[in-house]
Amino acid sequence: MGDKYHKKMKSELEEKIKSYIAKREKDYLSEFAYKNEDGLRRKQKNIEDIRTKCSRDADRIAHTCAYSSYL
């Protein structure tokens, strides 16, 4: 029973965070800026993650060998 409650709270928290990020994008970014919701992928993976598409891309770039050797 506790696990069911934990999953519900987790999903509610994730939705709040995602809506907060979307609201910030809408309020602060230019109408011409690239938005997370516009992100395209070659392979659409259903990843259960709170990170946005752009933050996932930034992590991927930062952890590549080529970028690490550049620093």
- Binning pLDDT at 50, 70 and 90, where does residue 5 land? low
Higher-confidence residue of 30 and 37: namely 30
Whole-prediction pTM value? 0.62
pLDDT over 90 at 27, yes or no: yes
pLDDT over 80 at 64, yes or no: yes
Domain borders along the chain are 2-31+49-70
Alpha carbons 11 and 13: distance in angstroms, whole number: 5
Per-residue pLDDT at 38: 79
What is the tens place of the pLDDT at every residue in 6-26?
A: 677 778 888 898 899 889 989
